[in-house]
Amino acid sequence: MILQNKKYKHLFLLLSIYFLLRVITYYFQIYPVGNELSLKWQFLDAQLLKKDFFKSLYYLHYQPPIWNFIYGVMIKIFGTENETLSLALHLFNIFLSFLMIYYFYLIADYFKLKKNEINIFFIFFFGFSLSFLFYETYMHYTHLTAFLFAQITYCFLRFDDNNSLKYEFFIYLTALILSLTWSAFSHPLFMFVIFLGICFIKFKKNILRSFLIFLLFSILTLIPSIKNKIEFNIFANSTWIGMQIFTVLSFDDNWEQWNTCNFSTTKIHEDELLFKNANIHFNNEHPSVVGPLSKNNNVGFIYRTKKCLKLAITEIINDPLRYAKRVKYLFISNHGHYSFDHIGWDPKEWRKYFSFFYDINKNIYLNPIKVRSLQLYYSFMYLFFSILLIKCIFNINNNKHKSYKPIVAIFLVYMWLMLVTHLAAGYEHERFRYTGHFLHILFFILLFKSKFINRIKINFTKKIKI
């Protein structure tokens, strides 16, 4: 019935092409390296999730729980063999890709793109996107957060149509799932950013309703923090904040502090004992928080993060200019990398086919061109959306330009991500930026639909007719 509609026939064709492309990449052995799955720090020990699924998730404190929940469900279904689990996660990511293409199609329809225009965008952002292929095969929650960003993008656009309660609720629900997936979104202020976006779109209309929904989801966001305070005496959704901020600071002249504030489990047993001595009423001996199976979720990291947070704050207060310069350096330098320049976790056979992009980094002539081109592109994109933001602020009660305000709201979500990650995380910004994959799609759609491009298209058409 659905396929009788020409619109959905086109969508089905795009999904079929994408499926064929993934059959081809699988034939060329571009898929996850299964035996590396147990080395991923994001996952709890597979045996813990198999034997005590719910308590292990409940005691998870160093990151939000959803990614491990998905991993744990797959363990319950498929067992603990790494190759099987990596295949299951890879198929899960491909399923997310199909959903993202679906959202892309809905967004393209929202902007009334023509069939050929949709095909061009599809090829560029999905069919032959190395970033999309990389993170689809990268055993991490990055592809999931990119999907959630796509969902929140679509919901903001639809909310702009009629300010319906349904889409407002879905926006907050998606934001909540993001907060329970990745610590970058787990701060309650993130919900305030969502609230600002909602206010941009509707301004004063039903503002009390929006404020009450904002309060509700802000409280829901705090549930992991409340649980961690009760169980581990630390009020945070992610208990690695101390070490994460430390990665922003550069301590080439003080390796003793850096060696103290790292993510290594080598001496974690010592910090575990120190945590127990500092919390004499703590008597939790669950293997997810103490002992060898706890790994990165060991309570020793809570002791370490508190100590490192104090050290980091002291360093920042003593020399805020140094910290600001470091954040500035990270922001500029990290925007000179491709989003798939995430060294160390490449899919199988990745560099066999795409070594050129890594050789550029070593080429003294090509690398500066690559870096400056990417930095120029991001500067232009940020400037474009910033001007749009200012324009919307001055015309907040004007509904003349359809879609501007929801796009500003989406941009605020992305800028929250950029702000938090650069202030409190010193590396891995390539995958952080990939979460906002759909912001780039919106950027090019807006450019494509602009009057300037339309004039070029009209002139080009006239010349062809002549």
Query: pLDDT of 418-461, one tens digit each?
Result: 999 999 988 788 889 999 999 999 999 999 887 655 555 555 45
35 pLDDT band, cuts 50/70/90, is: confident
Query: pLDDT of 127-139, one tens digit each?
Result: 999 999 999 999 8
The residue-averaged pLDDT of 85-105 equals 97
Q: What is the pTM of this model?
A: 0.93
Average pLDDT, rounded, for the chain: 90
Percent of the residues in the chain that have a pLDDT greater than 70, as a whole number: 92
Query: pLDDT of 245-260, one tens digit each?
Result: 988 987 655 555 666 7
Query: pLDDT of 368-425, one tens digit each?
Result: 999 999 999 999 999 999 999 998 888 877 766 667 899 999 999 999 999 999 999 8
What was the pLDDT predicted at 460? 46
What was the pLDDT predicted at 258? 62
The three state secondary structure string of the chain is: CHHHCHHHHHHHHHHHHHHHHHHHHHHCCCCCCHHHHHHCCCCCCHHHHHHCHHHHHHCCCCCCCHHHHHHHHHHHHHCCCHHHHHHHHHHHHHHHHHHHHHHHHHHHHHCCCCHHHHHHHHHHHHHCCHHHHHHHCCCCCHHHHHHHHHHHHHHHHHHHHHCCHHHHHHHHHHHHHHHCCCHHHCCCHHHHHHHHHHHHHHCCCCHHHHHHHHHHHHHHHCHHHHHHHHHHCCCCCCCCHHHHHHHHCCCCCCHHHHHHCCCCCCCHHHHHHHHHHHCCCCCCCCCCCCCHHHHHHCCHHHHHHHHHHHHHHHHHHHCHHHHHHHHHHHHHHHCCCCCCCCCCCCCCCHHHHHHHHHHHHHCCCHHHHHHHHHHHHHHHHHHHHHHHHHHHHHCCCCCCCCCHHHHHHHHHHHHHHHHHHHHHCCCCHHHHHHCCHHHHHHHHHHHHCCHHHHHHHHHHHHHHHC
pLDDT higher than threshold 90 for residue 104: yes
